[in-house]
Chains A and B, each alone.
Chain A
Amino acid sequence: MGFLEKLGRLDRRWIFLLIAVSVTIPLMLQRPAPVKPSPIVRNLYTAIDALPPGSKLLLSLDYGPSTVPENDPMAHAIARHALSKDLKLYVMTIWATGPPLISNLFETVIIPGFPNKTYGEDYLNLGYKVGNQGLIQSLTSDFRNQYTQDVGWGDIAARPVGQIPMMSTIRTIKDFDFIAGIGSGQPGLKEWVQFAGDPTGTPVGGGVTAVEAPLLYPYYPTQLVGLLGGLAGAAEYEALLVENHPEFGEAAQVALIRMFPQTVAHLVIVSFVLLGNISYFAQRGRRRK
């Protein structure tokens, strides 16, 4: 058996090992990758950046632990951006797995990064409700009927929405100035476009996992202001944020650091495909002779 044939019959566990090594070693270096923002990411950044202080931004964390490495950096970057621009940040989720991710956002980004902001006046935890797109549809007609109270935070107990300053002007989804959906499937950003953005005219943007990102391009730019596609999209948003807000430092460069092992793994997979094809064509050529 020739070398190329052996290559074609390589035990898949060697491939697994190579992938693990190609991710682990660059990850240990903890170096942010140099990333250049693409137009679709820049559009989202510009749209949020252009909102006047006091504008109401609804951030929906519609994902679970399985896609946290891709989605968390997006949600965290948008939350940082919104609060640094003095926007009012309303956080919710239409995924049952979302509430702990909201807690994590508060614990790791908002509380340490924005100690001068007040819960209930600058940011709010609305939590989770069941219903998928049904929930979004309910919010377009009566927000308060679904969210009768907030979730509270830490020792701050839940309060009826009538007692929360940030909720005084919210009746339906139309009262928000921007909807940012961070999603990893259905229901997610697509449903925010179909059930909230298109019927009410409220601008929608956000980020999704790389698996879903190509499917949402037909909505861009009129139905979807901008889109962060996977870890690379999150890294591009972080690059813009760090460029304009260097005070955020390394804490705001999670996706940028992950893009380094990501790049190495891409190169390894591209090499695998090339090797696989070389082996295939070499064997086919030999068989024809």
Chain B
Amino acid sequence: MDWSTVQLWVGALLTLMIFSFLYKDNPFYKFAEHLFVGVSAAYWMVQGFWQQIVPNLLAKLAPGSFENIIEAARGQQPELVYIIPLILGLILLTRLIPSIAWFSRWSMAFIIGYTAGSNLPRYLVSDFIKQVEKTLALPLVATHADNWLQWIMYSVSNLVVFGGVICGLVYFYFSKEHTGAFGRASRAGIWVLMVAFGASFGYTVMARISLLIGRLEFLGSWIRSFT
């Protein structure tokens, strides 16, 4: 039996073990679930080590020691600035030692500082300013169309986006009581959001079915291997 056959059989048996959960929780499912947790944690750890720590940290700090593994390190000078992420990375691991775990906050602070500092301008530009621009730039009366229906629909569609965004924002504005015209706008906002949620639901169903198709195709290829 060659490796590919072993792999196919192991894969198929684990697939069936996990599908057995559909009948009820059982030891086969638990076995596969726990195996998956262990294997995936190690998978990530190995990826982090070989794809980042070795080529982008160790090979930059001590290129001579790694030139047989990382070709790009050959003939390079050490870049001592990378001592900083090395120290912060090692400090992060102090979290595993309860007595000095508080040290890891320094590395966490760097991670949080990076995430906050990089996200703030990008969310501001891509997800806020550009969205406001795109909403306000919509012509509420269509300027060109091939026929009368298209003209009406272009205008209605743009109005749906413009009005929908305004009403949706009104719904999320909680500092004023939702009564009168404000309340009606808020109610319209709910309807727009409901259409969006309906679309999301439809797409979610679609996604889940696609994944099942993939697994059944795999089981099909396993069954075909019997012949």
Residues of A with Cβ closer than 8 Å to B?
13, 16, 19-20, 23-24, 27-28, 66-70, 96-97, 99, 127-131, 133-134, 137, 146, 148-149, 157-161, 193-195, 198-199, 209-211, 213-215, 218-219, 222-223, 229-232, 258, 261-262, 265-266, 269
Contact = CB atoms under 8 A, between A and B. Distances in A.
B33 interface: no
Contacts of A133: 118-119
A211 B59 CA distance: 40
16 contacts: A28-B220, A69-B211, A96-B48, A127-B51, A133-B119, A134-B118, A158-B72, A193-B126, A198-B126, A209-B207, A210-B203, A211-B203, A214-B199, A231-B207, A258-B217, A262-B213
Contact of B72 (A128, A161, A222): A161
Interface residues of B, number: 45
Which residue of B118, B134, B209 has the most chain A CB atoms within 10 A of its CB atom?
B209
B217 A27 contact: yes
Nearest to B51: A128
Given A211-B200, A231-B207, 17 more contacts: A13-B22, A27-B220, A66-B211, A69-B214, A96-B48, A148-B59, A149-B55, A149-B71, A158-B72, A194-B122, A194-B123, A194-B125, A210-B206, A215-B200, A219-B126, A231-B206, A265-B212
Nearest to B60: A148
A229 B204 CA distance: 11
Contacts, number: 139
A230 B122 contact: no
Given A23-B209, A134-B114, A148-B70, A194 B203 contact: no
Chain B interface mostly: helix
Interface string B150-169: 00000000000000000000
A160 B51 contact: no
A23 B200 CA distance: 22
A96 B122 contact: no
Nearest to A135: B52
Contacts of B30: none
A222 B56 CA distance: 35
Interface in B187-212: 196, 199-200, 203-207, 209-212
B43 interface: yes
Contacts of B134: 218, 222
A269 B201 CA distance: 12
A269 B119 CA distance: 39
A231 B204 CA distance: 11
Interface of B: 22-23, 43-44, 47-48, 51-52, 55-56, 59, 70-74, 114, 118-119, 122-123, 125-127, 130-131, 134, 196, 199-200, 203-207, 209-217, 220
Contacts of A265: 209, 212
A130 B216 contact: no
Nearest to A218: B131
B200 A19 contact: no
Contacts of A198: 122, 125-126, 130
B56 A146 contact: yes
A23 B206 CA distance: 12
A13 B23 CA distance: 7
Contact of A24 (B43, B131, B216): B216
Given A13-B23, A134-B114, A198-B130, A70 B43 contact: no
Given A148-B70, A161-B72, A266 B212 contact: no
B71 A96 contact: no
Given A149-B71, A159-B71, A266 B205 contact: yes
A107 to B, nearest CB: 13
B183 to A, nearest CB: 26
B207 to A, nearest CB: 4
